[in-house]
Amino acid sequence: MRILLIASAYNSMTQRVHAELADRGHEVSVELALGDEVIRDAAGRYDPDLIIAPMLTAAIPEDIWSAWHCFIVHPGPRGDRGPSSLDWAIMGGAGRWGVTVLQANAEMDAGDIWASVEFAMTGDSKSSVYRTEVADAAVEAVLLAVARFASGRYRPEPLDYRRPGVWGRLRPPCRQADRRIDWPAERTGAVLAKLRAADSSPGVLDQIGGTEYYLGGGYRKTTCAVSQGRSWPSGMAPSAGRPPTGRCGSRSCAPARRPAGPRRSSCPPRSRCVNHSADAWTACPRFSRR
């Protein structure tokens, strides 16, 4: 079968789907979704039997999905909709999650369901879950959806929240206001979940010594001693800045850049760089430039 993959980036998910389909004898072409005209040109030139979007951050044009069958790989269970599925799942402490292959239509993430595969959440960071559990489930769901499409006999399921097994819901984009950490009030598990959900991008926006930084790479600390001169979030004193149930750290911090503002390229001085800890702040072992 001739399959056109369209993706916002040739990331690990797109590469994995590409390789798995090609290994099974399908003719696969890949096109980066750099605009509607690029997608139209690729579809018209390749004339595929099926279009699949393993990772897409923009809607497929109506004249494309109305002319070709277009499958969207969505990192959420049946019924889940929205651009921040994994973020909400990790922040909400979901024990199970899923990947759904659905048909593109006029309503985002609301098309007919061709396949859905669930998996157990591991408590890891978003990037780790995406590259392992989500990728494995996505490949399984895509191969199942392609086989069902190729048979010509399968009828996809319309999205119906009254059906058993449809337990997702429409969720809004996850904003920095949703990720904000209330250091004296939130439990350590909730702090870690927010840091893990924002892993790699965008990070959790916070303040260190009056300067805004994006934090990531959350982990639980077992021992920590308060050191003089270390910064606390939003200028809080150590007694007011420790979460009530333990300690946690952040392995990275990237300086925030405001519109029209200068690019910052370094962490705070080591005496003020933090491993966002519940009981003390220690030197950050690494940071990323933003």
Angle 30-173-120 from CA coordinates, rounded to 5°: 75
252: domain CATH number is 3.10.25
In-domain check, residue 70: yes
Q: Tell me: do 99 and 193 sit in the same domain.
A: no
pLDDT value of position 227: 34
State the residue range of the domain holding 61.
2-151
Alpha-carbon gap, residue 84 to 197, rounded angstroms: 10
Q: What residues are paired with 71 via a beta bridge?
A: 52, 103
pLDDT value of position 84: 95
Block residue for tokens 């109506």: 62
In terms of DSSP bridges, do strands 70-74 and 96-103 run parallel, antiparallel, or are they unpaired? antiparallel
Listed in sequence order, the residues at least 6 apart from 253 whose beta carbon sits closer than 8 Å to its beta carbon are 203, 208, 213, 214, 215, 216, 267, 268, 273, 274, 284, 287
Tell me the pTM: 0.80
Q: Tell me: do 26 and 144 sit in the same domain.
A: yes
In-domain check, residue 159: no
3-state secondary structure (DSSP) of residue 236: coil
Q: Tell me: do 50 and 110 sit in the same domain.
A: yes
In-domain check, residue 161: no
In-domain check, residue 262: yes
Q: Which helix (H) or strand (E) holds 248?
A: strand 248-255
What secondary structure does DSSP assign to 7-76, as a single string?
ESS--HHHHHHHHHHHHTT-EEEEEE---HHHHHHHHHHH--SEEEESS-SSPPPHHHHTTS-EEEEESS
Q: Which two tokens stand for residue 107?
A: 């309503």
The residue among 118, 151, 184 that closes a domain is 151
Q: Tell me: do 116 and 68 sit in the same domain.
A: yes
Q: Tell me: do 24 and 140 sit in the same domain.
A: yes
137: domain CATH number is 3.40.50.170
Listed as ranges, residues in the chain with pLDDT below 50 are 224-242, 245-246, 262-290
Establish whether the linkage from the previous residue to 269 is cis, with ω within 30° of 0: no
pLDDT value of position 271: 34
- Residue 102 CB neighbour total at 10 angstroms: 25
3-state secondary structure (DSSP) of residue 270: coil
Alpha-carbon gap, residue 199 to 214, rounded angstroms: 10
129 in the Ramachandran plot: left (φ > 0), alpha (ψ -120 to 50) or beta? alpha
Q: Tell me: do 16 and 109 sit in the same domain.
A: yes
In-domain check, residue 268: yes
Block residue for tokens 């499958």: 71
pLDDT value of position 26: 98
- Asked whether 11 and 58 are in contact (CB, 8 A), the reply is no
For residue 214, the number of C-alpha atoms closer than 13 Å in the C-beta half-sphere is: 20
Measured between alpha carbons, how far is residue 10 from residues 44, 54, 55, 171, 257 in Å? 21, 9, 8, 26, 27
CA dihedral 34, 40, 43, 47 (to 10 degrees): -160
Q: Tell me: do 6 and 145 sit in the same domain.
A: yes
Give the whole-number percent of the chain exceeding pLDDT 90: 66
